[in-house]
Structure 1
Amino acid sequence: MTVPQTRYERAVRRAQSDGRIPALTVALHRADREPWTFTVGESGNPDHPLGPDSRFRIGSVTKTFTAVLVMQARDDGLLDLDEPVSRYLDVPAHGDATIRRLLSHTAGYQREPYGDVWDTLVAPDAGRLLAELDRAERVLPNARRYHYSNLGLAVLGHLVAKLRGGTWAEILTERILTPLGLGHTTVDRPAEAAVGYLVDAYSDAARPEPPVDLGGVGPAAQLWSTASDMARWAAFLADPGVNRVLDAATLDEMRWPSTTTDESLWAIGFGLGLILCPEGNRVVHVGHDGAMPGFLAGVYGRRGGEGNPGGLGCAVLGSSGTAGQTIDLAHELLRLAVEADPAEIRPWRVAAPAPPAYRSVLGRWWSEGSEFVFAWHDGQLQARAAEAPAEKPPAIFRPLPDQADVLRTASGRESGELLRMTRDERGAVVRMHWATYRFTRLQEGFDGGLASDGPGPRL
């Protein structure tokens, strides 16, 4: 066992002991290493002792799958995120909520379907859930603030199912689980299921919690899985690479913060179906927590930061419904992965020079009194403020196919804006306009005068 793995194992054992978790299963996935898995405790299932293939409820991590199904449908032209849900689904009330607002929990839907689901443990089927939407409340105005809603995500799951012509479970298996090889992730309770417990607060006793089939609420929290499957899923959410499921640009869109979950802290954001946990220094953990009777889950991938190997995801699944250590451990292991076992530093190598059309652009420019550096790296034109911290990504430009001297900002500062180049009679770029702001080789004021010339005429 390597030193990093020893540290991982100790962190897992500490969380299981401190949290008094009957069974804990953990997996760490990364692009440059073999997956690491570890279990501690007992499954409570006499036919299937605890092991890497033990299945746990992942609760609301299910929502990330439903969100990806929604975005697939958008990319395929089946829906528009800014259209009301009633355009695609016949609902008796609250149909003006847009799909985007439902994904980001800002539509104001009440948390659960009509009725006392968590008291009776009887969930409505899909038809009843939708038919009784007029009995559910709109507890906040549309777009007022974040308010978590299982009902909202369940509605979206059935919307996608209708558009695709199947059930939510069928569409999930066909469009995500099978293509990504997540064969241990299931809608129904498998034979390898661990038992979920309520651990007594004042003794070492634990009571098995009853299994709950969520029926029509399934798109919000139904799934069972292994830590290995979920660590791979977390890595996909953070760094999808080449896949047959969702375009990387669409996942970028899902990870963009739509709201904060607490206006007084600004510590956690919510994108389109994804929780965003800032870690400082431009690092963010992206994924979701999950909770069901007797189970907690933390499934997150890590984006950014020095030492990050890419494709870095962690899943921690526990069989106690009250041990917050389960969720905390996922974040701790992601931090340990880059601290104790950082990615290897790739050697720099000579590459092809910039194309002739861009060589006169390279170097230092000035705009609004500030200095910028334009460079050619990794086969693309880039720009960054001269004083920007090293970890801040540069702006990256893509040429327009029909205009030789006009580029679109693909990412970074002024994303989406145009960069226009002006050339002299020799073809050298002597002036640029980025987002309409003038860029020059010397430091100029807005009136075109040089800063080095001192005071201009009095007005």
Structure 2
Amino acid sequence: MTEVNRQFERLVRQAQAESRIPAVSAALHRADRPLWTCTVGGTGNDAPLGPGTAFRIGSVTKTFTAVLVLQCRDDGLLDLDDPVGAHLDVPAHGELTVRRLLSHTSGVQREPYGDVWDTLHSPELDEFLADLARAERVLPPARRFHYSNLGAALLGQAVARLRGGTWAEVLADRVLGPLGLADTTPQPPAGAATGFLVDAYSDHARPEPNTDLGAVGPAAQLWSTASDMARWAAFLADPAAVDPAGAVLRSTTLDEMRWPLTVTDETLWSAGFGLGLILLPQRDASGAAERVLHVGHDGAMPGFLASVYGRRGGSGTPGAMGAAVLGSSGTGVAVNELAHQILAASAREDPADIVPWTPGEPAPEPYRGLLGRWWGEGFEYVFSWRDGALRARGAADPAGKPPAVFTPLPDRPDVLRTVSGREVGELLRLTRDDRGEVVGLHWATYRFTRRQETFDRFDFRTG
């Protein structure tokens, strides 16, 4: 065992002991290292605890449902701005859009109609759909973040209807099978951990009931292992490394899912929500913001907590980095931080190897003359050719800030589209003099010149 792995194991053991969790299973996935796993405690039944032990993962299930929805979008079966009623026959709330339901900004109430956590009665599909007429819209659509299991369940049932199967069948066929997540199942397998409520004032642990969520399953039904979930977290963060052929989802679609659509608190912007994904910007030891994002989801069901996150950005972050921590106590809150601690410690203590720089091809002749420094809106920018593409960054940008990247239009080489970074989607237009030299730029219609200029009327040829 390496010293770094000993540190990880100590983190897990400390969390298990201090938070009094009967069983904890943790795993770390990275493209450049063997899978790391650790289990502490016991299952609470006759089965031994090990890396193959399944735990309830609760709302981590929503990330799978979100991927199924985006698959449907990419296949042309729906649009994110479609009303859900266009794809599912519902008696009420059919006007709520797919995008709003994915980002928890639809305003629909949190749970299905009734006191479901008193009765533990989960409706089957017909009852679930009929009861929508009695569910409230507690906020106007797009007003603010409001978490909703009901909304996630609607999306899962819409996917099932579009694909012509049950939600569980579609999930197994289109996600679990292609990614090799064989230990992720809708029902607890033999030897699964027992979930507990640990008494606040004694060491007694009482088992919680297992509940089948019926039609609400797309929100929180799944069981899994830490190893499967670490791989899933790595996929959410770096799909090109985990699924290079795009068999499950295109990398650009995951980019879209990770874009924040709302914050979860109006004052403390420490967490956001994309399309079905929780987004957690990270801070360094001093509290300063880093250009690092943890993306994934937490889960909670009676007797269980789960935390499943991948890491993006940062100089020490390797490819396909994901961590999962699963616990068999509904109050073992250390689970919620442990995945983030493992990710941060791994990037800090065992950073990714530094890839040597090697010389590349020169910039294409038509673009060589525009490389170097330009001024726009009074600020200085540097245009360069890197990794086969034209790039631009502000001269004062911090080192970790991604550059703008451009690609020429197929039939207009002097007009380029911004494909990522600042002003993404906007055009960059080159102006040449009579000799064909680049003498000016317009980016998103703003003028860029070789010297700092005012906004006065300007002729590139005369300055």
Matches within 5 A, 1:141-152: 141-152=140-151
- CA distance, structure 2, for counterparts of residue 127 and residue 404 of structure 1: 57
What residue in structure 2 maps to residue 276 of structure 1?
Answer: 279
What residue in structure 2 maps to residue 310 of structure 1?
Answer: 319
Give the drift of 1:45.
2.4
- CA distance, structure 2, for counterparts of residue 399 and residue 184 of structure 1: 45
Aligned: 1:384 with 2:383: no
What residue in structure 1 maps to residue 19 of structure 2?
Answer: 19
Residues 2-40 of structure 1, C-alpha deviations (whole Å, 9 max, x = no match): 111011011111100111000000000011111100000
Letter of the 2:247 counterpart: R
- CA distance, structure 2, for counterparts of residue 192 and residue 427 of structure 1: 73
Residues 117-137 of structure 1, C-alpha deviations (whole Å, 9 max, x = no match): 111111001221112100111
Letter of the 1:360 counterpart: G
Aligned: 1:439 with 2:413: no
Matches within 5 A, 1:30-429: 30-46=30-46, 48-241=47-240, 242=244, 243-279=246-282, 280-429=289-438
Aligned residue for 1:281, secondary structure, equals strand
Letter of the 1:230 counterpart: M
Give the drift of 1:165.
0.6
- CA distance, structure 2, for counterparts of residue 426 and residue 173 of structure 1: 61
- CA distance, structure 2, for counterparts of residue 299 and residue 190 of structure 1: 20
Give the drift of 1:57.
0.3
Letter of the 1:252 counterpart: D
Aligned residue for 2:305, secondary structure, equals strand
Of residues 418-427 and 51-60 in structure 1, the stretch that sits farther from structure 2 once superposed is 418-427
- CA distance, structure 1, for counterparts of residue 437 and residue 56 of structure 2: 62
Letter of the 2:54 counterpart: R
Give the drift of 1:89.
1.2
Residues 273-293 of structure 1, C-alpha deviations (whole Å, 9 max, x = no match): 000111021111000000001
Letter of the 2:71 counterpart: Q
Give the drift of 1:361.
1.4
Give the drift of 1:267.
1.1
Structure 1 residue ranges (4+ consecutive) displaced by more than 6 angstroms after TM superposition: none
Q: CA RMSD, aligned part only?
A: 1.0
- CA distance, structure 2, for counterparts of residue 131 and residue 402 of structure 1: 54
- CA distance, structure 1, for counterparts of residue 252 and residue 154 of structure 2: 25
Residues 89-110 of structure 1, C-alpha deviations (whole Å, 9 max, x = no match): 1110111110000000010111
Residues 366-413 of structure 1, C-alpha deviations (whole Å, 9 max, x = no match): 111111000011111100000000010000111111211111101100
- CA distance, structure 1, for counterparts of residue 71 and residue 249 of structure 2: 6
- CA distance, structure 1, for counterparts of residue 124 and residue 59 of structure 2: 18
Letter of the 2:412 counterpart: Q
Give the drift of 1:115.
1.3
- CA distance, structure 1, for counterparts of residue 96 and residue 24 of structure 2: 39
Letter of the 1:55 counterpart: A
Give the drift of 1:323.
1.1
Give the drift of 1:337.
0.7
Residues 304-333 of structure 1, C-alpha deviations (whole Å, 9 max, x = no match): 011011211000000000111001101110
Aligned residue for 2:239, secondary structure, equals coil
Letter of the 2:141 counterpart: N
Aligned residue for 1:183, secondary structure, equals coil
Asked if 2 retains the 8 angstrom alpha-carbon contact of 1:53 and 1:192, the reply is: no
* Runs of at least 5 residues in structure 2 that lack an aligned partner in the other structure: 283-288
Identity %: 68
- CA distance, structure 2, for counterparts of residue 67 and residue 330 of structure 1: 21
TM-score by length of 2: 0.96
Q: How many matched pairs?
A: 449
Aligned residue for 1:155, secondary structure, equals helix
Residues 209-244 of structure 1, C-alpha deviations (whole Å, 9 max, x = no match): 011101111000000000000000000101101131
Give the drift of 1:192.
2.5
- CA distance, structure 2, for counterparts of residue 405 and residue 6 of structure 1: 56
- CA distance, structure 2, for counterparts of residue 90 and residue 402 of structure 1: 46
Aligned residue for 1:262, secondary structure, equals coil
Aligned residue for 2:257, secondary structure, equals helix
What residue in structure 1 maps to residue 286 of structure 2?
Answer: none
What residue in structure 2 maps to residue 454 of structure 1?
Answer: none
Residues 312-361 of structure 1, C-alpha deviations (whole Å, 9 max, x = no match): 10000000001110011011101001111000111111111111111111
Give the drift of 1:264.
1.7
- CA distance, structure 1, for counterparts of residue 144 and residue 325 of structure 2: 30
Give the drift of 1:426.
2.3
Letter of the 2:105 counterpart: T
Asked if 2 retains the 8 angstrom alpha-carbon contact of 1:29 and 1:314, the reply is: yes
- CA distance, structure 2, for counterparts of residue 126 and residue 380 of structure 1: 51
Give the drift of 1:449.
6.8
Letter of the 1:167 counterpart: T
Letter of the 1:21 counterpart: I
- CA distance, structure 1, for counterparts of residue 320 and residue 420 of structure 2: 20
